[in-house]
Amino acid sequence: MSEKAKYTYDWPRPMVTVDIAVFHPFDDKLHILLIQRGIEPFKGCWALPGGFVEMDEELDDAAARELAEETGLHNIRLEQIYTFGGIGRDPRGRVISILYMGIVKADVPELHAGDDASDARWFDICRLPEKIAFDHRKVIEFAAGKFDNMKLR
């Protein structure tokens, strides 16, 4: 059998995604970067940047790739902080999401929505949009609670 032998399983397996909470403190307020989904599920709703991990991709690389594809931001230091795996998080099936966090302290480069994002914007953490996809409101609240303890530079 070759090193890359193919195995099959008789039971379903969960999908793995990365979600990225990027914060930017400005105007004496904390802001978070959200994307507007351009595709279903939750087309038109706001969400954290993120997406599916590719089969031959490391988690850290997936987080950096998804952030760049959906917002145009590159070279943001990201730290893996938590895993969300509740049943029913995603209508497409069982999804386990690894949450990454980052901080943009300097002037923010222009955002460029891309891939499956139709828009990308900064939101005051106290004034989030009404329509937030998946369980991302819960994820955002968790991430904001961890913000003060972050050691990111």
Burial 66-90 (b: 16+ CB within 10 A, else e): bbbbbbebeebebeebeebeeeebb
> How far is residue 46 from each of residues 32, 67, 105, 111, 118, measured CA to CA in Å?
12, 15, 23, 15, 10
What is the amino acid identity at position 141?
Answer: E
Beta bridge partners, 82, equal 99
Q: Residue with structure tokens 């991302």?
A: 136
Q: Which residue has the higher pLDDT, 32 or 9?
A: 32
* pLDDT beyond 60 at 1: no
pLDDT of the residue at 4: 60
Per-domain boundaries in the chain = 15-149
DSSP annotation of 108 reads: P
Residue range 65-124, pLDDT digits in tens: 999 999 999 999 999 999 999 999 999 999 999 999 999 987 877 899 988 889 999 999
What is the Cα–Cα distance from 20 to 114, expressed in whole angstroms?
A: 15
pLDDT of the residue at 5: 63
Q: Which residue has the higher pLDDT, 34 or 153?
A: 34
What is the Cα–Cα distance from 110 to 118, expressed in whole angstroms?
A: 15
Residue range 16-73, pLDDT digits in tens: 999 999 999 988 899 999 999 999 999 999 999 999 999 999 999 999 999 999 999 9
What is the Cα–Cα distance from 72 to 111, expressed in whole angstroms?
A: 6
DSSP annotation of 139 reads: H
Residue 54: enclosing H or E segment and its boundaries? none
* pLDDT beyond 60 at 153: no
**Domain 15-149 CATH (choose: 3.30.70.20, 3.90.79.10, 3.40.109.10, 3.40.50.2300):** 3.90.79.10
**Is there a cis peptide before residue 129, judged by omega within 30 degrees of 0?**
no
Contacts for 146 with CB less than 8 Å, ≥ 6 apart: 81, 82, 101
| Cβ(104)–Cβ(122) below 8 Å | no
